[in-house]
Amino acid sequence: MRYSPISPELFINNRQRFIGKMEDSSIAIFNSNDTMPTSADGTMPFVQHSDIYYLTGIEQEETVLLLYPDTEKEKDKEILFIRETNEHLAVWEGEKLSKDEARRISGIANVQWLSMLPSLFRNAALTCEHIYLNSNEFKSVATPVQTRDDRFRQEWQQIFPLHSYKRSAPIFHELRAIKTDYEVEQLKRASKITEKGFRRILKFTKPGIYEYEIEAEFSHEFLRNGSRGFAYTPIVASGKNSCILHYIKNDQVCNDGDIICIDVGAEYAGYNADMTRTIPVSGRFSKRQREVYDAVLRVLYGAFDLLRVGSNFDEYNKAIGEMMTEEMIGLKLLKRKDVKNQNPDRPLYKKYFMHGTSHHLGLNVHDYGNYNRKFETGMVLTVEPGIYIPEESLGVRLENDILITDKGIIDLMADIPIEAEEIEYLMNRKKK
């Protein structure tokens, strides 16, 4: 394990919060992700399903959790199923978790080998009325890949067609939108590692290097600080690439006079940071680059002021759109007379700022949360305004991660350099 052990109290508390949302006479079942194949005998690195990790802390493949809070048998209220080690696995992959290790991580007393799942799930289903099943109900998901949850639903809904089936996803979207103090600490650790990576590349960047060399510097710093690596595929976009929102090739040379839009974040203990900074290749912003940079930074700070308990995304996005419009008029990207006559359903600022400003952050980079819900204490949101001008090969985006509290916001990335003067100072200090 690369990170400091997490107290099982986190997962015990998460399970109790989930159970508190279940109807009486219900069971709930959760499956890990699959190990995905590449080709021949290759596989991709295993990534645990964030829901079962949230409830158990177990990062091993072929793990299943069964919750049955109303059973008369105390030991069967929570059952964790894990993959059993055999001699072949021990030699080729290393031993899997023992039952004692799984108990220590999850706080679940009843740990069984996966082979016991069919009989124990059947016994539970025969004595309950409702079965909570999990599915991916994220708003922008679109994948043809069948998951272990998908296969489980298909199999057991045929065996028990007359049960009342419930959705686990809405409960997760409600619970996971609010971070506990312990979760916030993990997010702070991820942000701190991200800061170290950013300070490293400020010393490293110069004309003539390749985008992937910057990526490599981040990777080095992340791994040496206990992260498993990038929270998401890194974006290192120089010159005209800075106007491509999800540019991930990272294979072009960084030329003198260009800027680089860098969107990266470290993962730590399953939790993710999400940072964007825009820096000049030469170490100095041009006059025009600085104008656009300062405009985006003003919107970022303006967005901070809007993240208040009781506000909502509609009000927030409307106000940011108005700020962006004024900045773009000042940059001579828009004309005020055109803005007055614009279609309110298609505001003109979206030509240069076409994505959303904020999303939930946590175990997923785009974490769970209902976007019709008002802002509440414990929510962690990104703030990432940007202005992209393809005709000038100039794209500027800035992004920090923000915790909302009843006393105001806490910027989890407050220590990561963002002011243009500090960026230039740090980039040029190495040259003296």
What mean pLDDT is predicted for residues 371-375? 96
Final residue belonging to a domain, choices 132, 149, 175: 175
Report the pLDDT value the prediction gives residue 196, as an integer from 0 to 100: 98
218 shares a domain with 87: no
Per-residue model confidence (pLDDT) at position 85: 83
Q: Which pLDDT score is estimated for 430?
A: 57
pLDDT over 60 at 10, yes or no: yes
User: Which position has the token pair 């820096």?
Assistant: 279
pLDDT above 80: residue 142: no
The verdict on 203 and 321 lying in the same domain is yes
CA angle 35, 41, 45 (to 5 degrees): 35
The residue with tokens 């072949």 is: 88
Residue 432 has pLDDT above 70, yes or no: no
pLDDT at 87: 76
Across the chain, mean pLDDT equals 96
Q: What is d(CA 73, CA 356) in angstroms, rounded to the nearest whole number? A: 49
pLDDT, residue 213, reads 98
Share of the chain above pLDDT 70, in %: 99
Mean per-residue pLDDT for 274-295? 98
Q: Retrieve residue 56's tokens.
A: 């158990």
Please indicate, yes or no, whether residues 159 and 23 belong to a single structural domain of this protein.
yes
Band of residue 139 on the pLDDT scale cut at 50, 70, 90: confident
**What does the block give as tokens for 402?**
């923000």
Task: Quote the pLDDT of residue 431.
Answer: 53
pTM for the complete prediction? 0.95
For residues 338 and 86, the model is more confident at 338
- 141 and 206 housed in the same domain: no
* Nearest CA-CA partner of 360 in 349, 371, 352: 371
Q: What is the CATH number of the domain that holds 51?
A: 3.40.350.10
Q: What average pLDDT does this structure show over 181-202?
A: 97
* Tokens, residue 92: 């080729």
Same domain for 257 and 158?
Answer: no
Q: How many angstroms separate the first and last alpha carbons of the chain? A: 40
pLDDT (average), residues 173-193: 97
> Could you count the other beta carbons within 10 Å of the beta carbon of residue 255?
13
Residues 381 and 243 in one domain: yes
pLDDT tens digit sequence for 49-102: 999 999 999 999 999 999 999 999 999 999 999 999 887 777 777 889 999 999
Q: Which amino acid is at 403?
A: L
Task: For residue 5, name the pLDDT band (cuts at 50, 70, 90).
Answer: confident
| 2 lies in some domain | no
In this predicted structure, which of 14-18, 45-49, 128-132, 410-414 has the lowest mean pLDDT? 45-49
Average pLDDT of the segment spanning 319-328? 98
**What are 138's two structure tokens?**
């994220």
Distance CA 226, CA 388 (A): 34
* Containing structural domain, residue 164: 8-175
Residues 236, 118 share a domain: no
Residue 140's pLDDT is 75
pLDDT band of 118, cuts 50, 70, 90: very high
Q: Pick from 396, 401, 14: which is nearest to 174 by CA?
A: 14
**pLDDT tens-digit series, residues 228-238:** 999 999 999 99
CATH number of the domain that 418 lies in?
3.90.230.10
Q: Specify if 202 maps to a domain.
A: yes
Where b means 16+ CB within 10 Å and e means fewer, 264-290 reads: bbbbbbbbbbbbbbbbbbbbebeeebb
Residue where a domain stops, chosen among 158, 175, 192: 175
For the segment 112-130, the average pLDDT, to the nearest whole number, is 97
The three state secondary structure string of the chain is CCCCCCCHHHHHHHHHHHHCCCCCCEEEEEECCCCCECCCCCECCCCCCHHHHHHHCCCCCCCEEEECCCCCCHHHCEEEEECCCCHHHHHHCCCCCCHHHHHHHHCCCEEEEHHHHHHHHHHHHCCCCEEEECCCCCCCCCCCCCCHHHHHHHHHHHHCCCCEEEECHHHHHHHCCCCCHHHHHHHHHHHHHHHHHHHHHHHHCCCCCEHHHHHHHHHHHHHHCCCCCECCCCEEEEHHHHHCCCCCCCCCECCCCCEEEEEECEEECCEECCEEEEEECCCCCCHHHHHHHHHHHHHHHHHHHHCCCCCCHHHHHHHHHHHHHHHHHHCCCCCHHHHHCCCCCCCHHHHCCCCCCCCECCCCCCCCCCCCCCCCCCCEEEECCEEEEHHHCEEEECEEEEEEECCEEEECCCCCCCCHHHHHHHHHHCCC
Interval 403-430 mean pLDDT: 96
Mean pLDDT of 349-368: 97
Shared-domain flag, residues 47 and 196:
no
More confident residue, 41 or 156: 156
The answer to whether residue 1 sits within a structural domain is: no
Query: CB-hemisphere CA count at 13 Å for 61?
Result: 14
Q: Is the pLDDT of residue 342 over 90?
A: yes
At 248, list the tokens. Answer: 């991930």
**213 falls within a domain:** yes
Return the amino acid letter for 250. Answer: N
Spatial distance between the Cα atoms of 336 and 323, rounded to a whole number of angstroms: 13
Q: Of the residues 126, 144, 175, which one is the last residue of a structural domain? A: 175
pLDDT at 91: 72
Q: pLDDT value at position 95?
A: 84
Catalytic residues: 41, 246, 263, 274, 355, 359, 366, 384, 388, 397, 399
Same domain assignment for residues 123 and 249:
no
Q: What is the pLDDT of residue 377?
A: 98
104 and 229 share one domain: no
Residue of 363, 49, 15, 369 whose CA lies nearest to 177: 369
Let me know whether 144 and 252 are in one domain. Answer: no
Distances (CA, A) of 117 to 80, 123, 160, 167, 186: 9, 10, 16, 21, 32
Q: What is the pLDDT of residue 182?
A: 94
Q: Domains in the chain: how many in total? A: 2
> Looking at the chain, how many residues does it have?
432
In a domain, 68, yes or no: yes
Q: Are 329 and 339 in contact (CB under 8 A)?
A: yes
- Mean pLDDT over 149-172 rounds to 96
Q: Same structural domain for residues 203 and 110?
A: no
Asked whether residue 3 is assigned to any structural domain, the reply reads: no
Would you place residue 319 in the very low, low, confident or very high pLDDT band (cuts 50, 70, 90)? very high
CA pair distance 135, 49, nearest whole angstrom: 11
Chain CA centroid to CA 359, Å: 9
